[in-house]
């Protein structure tokens, strides 16, 4: 494993993801080396070929100092942005034990009592090391990527990542600590279409862990990912090859998406972004919420005293994401909402029709 120390110019990077304003990636590269990972394109920033994914990590050794500087320059309003650790690396792969950058970044966020949502996505039980810090964040959301309950399959596809069983166990331990969690079922493995009992076993295991919120994403197979997967699959049976060959068809996604919907209902789970997403359609995924859906979310927020995450659009077409508390939603007072969102003074058309997306936040204000 090649480990290189580098200097970062910036740590808080504007996000193109539909549910994060900024992403934080303390490392470039990832030790887990998952076959399906699309983030191999990051190699071009450190002069590493895509074929070497999983064999190198570049450590941004000044990451903690940089985020402290960046946070100090942010306005109070900007600090309400949602940040995600991490989008193109795992924040808790092996080198984190030595460099502790993720822990240092979380501590920096605690030190300023960062008011926005801090979301974490990982495959590693190492996140449990930082429970003490996570409990100090005003709004936190910790996700574990769980693609199967089969440890053998997990080792085949996710190479050196922690086994699936350990990730499910980690979700349970986080829930026992009253830390809000979610499961990321991504990618949705193609064979589930033909083995529905295995898909049901996965969703049942997520429910049994105590987690209720899930993201579900269809497999994304750009050319460079296909090449890596086929090098592994060429020695497998034609039946398995055929399953992956057809994994990008609209029919495949439709069938799997319907299976997921049924299991979400059966096990009382909550699917985020409105349904199973597809990476190639990600900019639009989860952002098409009807007026009826929005009002339903608002009413539930009022009834449960919960915050709502919204994406709103101003008259120029610019969109901004905000977390709004129940007091701002009361009777849907448009004047207060307009002021809260700091829309331009000449904006006179802000109403429910300008909200493109609304979702309940996972953490209730009454929770620790």
For residue 167, the model assigns a pLDDT of 96
CA-closest candidate to residue 253, choices 318, 188, 183, 186: 188
Residue 273 vs residue 265, higher pLDDT: 265
The closest of 163, 19, 158, 155 to 83, measured between CA atoms, is 19
* Range from 171-175, 246-250, 318-322 carrying the lowest mean pLDDT: 318-322
Whether the ω angle into residue 187 lies within 30 degrees of 0, i.e. cis, is yes
pLDDT-wise least confident of 4-18, 124-138, 240-254, 301-315 = 301-315
Render pLDDT for 84-101 as a digit per residue (tens, 0 to 9): 998 889 999 999 999 999
> How high does pLDDT run on average in the chain?
82
| pLDDT above 70 as % of the chain | 79
Higher pLDDT, 118 or 240: 118
Query: Can you tell me the distance from the alpha carbon of 10 to that of 24, in angstroms, rounded to the nearest whole number?
Result: 9
CA–CA dist 222, 240 (Å, integer): 19
pLDDT of residue 346: 39
First to last CA, the chain: 40
Predicted local confidence at residue 316, as pLDDT: 52
Q: What was the pLDDT predicted at 280?
A: 66
pLDDT exceeds cutoff 60 at 350: no
What's residue 360's pLDDT? Answer: 67
Query: Whose CA is closest to 31, among 50, 54, 52?
Result: 54
pLDDT of residue 315 exceeding 60, the answer is no
pLDDT above 90 covers a percentage of the chain that reads 45
Reported as a pLDDT band with limits 50, 70 and 90, residue 168 is very high
* Token pair of 50 as six digits: 């895509």
Provide the 3-class DSSP secondary structure of residue 237: coil
pLDDT value at residue 159? 81
- Asked whether residue 244 carries a pLDDT value surpassing 50, the answer given is yes
User: In the beta sheet, which residues pair with residue 3?
Assistant: 57
Identify the pLDDT of residue 293.
Answer: 63
Q: What is the mean pLDDT of residues 49-72?
A: 92
pLDDT of 202 over the 80 cut: yes
Asked if pLDDT for residue 40 goes beyond 60, the answer is yes
Q: What is the pLDDT of residue 233?
A: 77
Of 257, 362, 262, 265, the C-alpha closest to 304 is: 362
Residue-level pLDDT at 152 = 86
311 versus 226: the higher-pLDDT residue is 226
Q: Give the mean pLDDT of 21-38.
A: 89
Mean pLDDT over residues 262-290, rounded?
Answer: 74
């Amino acid at each position: 494993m090649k480990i290189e120390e580098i200097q970062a110019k910036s740590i808080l990077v504007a996000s193109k993801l539909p549910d994060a304003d900024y992403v934080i990636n303390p490392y470039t590269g990832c030790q887990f080396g998952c076959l399906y990972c699309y983030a191999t394109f990051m190699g071009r920033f450190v002069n590493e070929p895509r074929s070497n994914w999983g064999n190198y990590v570049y450590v941004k050794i000044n990451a903690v100092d940089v985020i402290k500087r960046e946070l100090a320059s942010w306005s109070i309003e900007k600090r309400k942005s949602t940040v995600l650790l991490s989008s193109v690396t795992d924040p808790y792969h092996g080198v984190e034990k030595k460099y502790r950058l993720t822990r240092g970044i979380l501590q920096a966020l605690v030190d300023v009592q960062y008011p926005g949502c801090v979301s974490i996505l990982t495959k590693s039980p190492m996140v449990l090391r930082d429970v003490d810090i996570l409990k100090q964040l005003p709004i936190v959301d910790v996700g574990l990527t769980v693609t199967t309950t089969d440890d053998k399959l997990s080792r085949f596809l996710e190479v050196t990542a922690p086994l699936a069983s350990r990730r499910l166990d980690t979700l349970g331990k986080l829930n026992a600590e009253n830390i809000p969690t979610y499961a990321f079922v991504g990618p949705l493995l193609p064979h589930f279409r033909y083995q529905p009992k295995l898909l049901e076993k996965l969703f049942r295991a997520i429910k049994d862990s105590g987690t209720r919120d899930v993201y579900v994403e269809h497999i994304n197979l750009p050319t460079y990912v296909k090449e890596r997967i086929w090098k592994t699959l060429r020695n497998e049976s034609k039946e398995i090859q055929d399953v992956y060959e057809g994994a990008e068809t609209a029919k495949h996604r439709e069938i799997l998406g319907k299976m997921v919907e049924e299991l979400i209902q059966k096990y009382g789970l909550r699917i985020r972004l409105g349904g199973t997403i597809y990476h190639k359609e990600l900019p639009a995924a989860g952002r098409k919420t009807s007026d009826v859906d929005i009002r339903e979310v608002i009413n539930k927020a009022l009834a449960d005293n919960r915050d709502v995450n919204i994406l709103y659009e101003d008259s120029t077409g610019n969109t901004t994401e905000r977390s709004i508390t129940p007091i701002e939603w009361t009777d849907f007072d448009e004047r207060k909402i307009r002021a809260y969102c700091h829309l331009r003074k000449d904006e006179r058309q802000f109403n429910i029709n300008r909200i493109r997306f609304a979702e309940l936040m996972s953490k209730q204000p009454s929770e620790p």
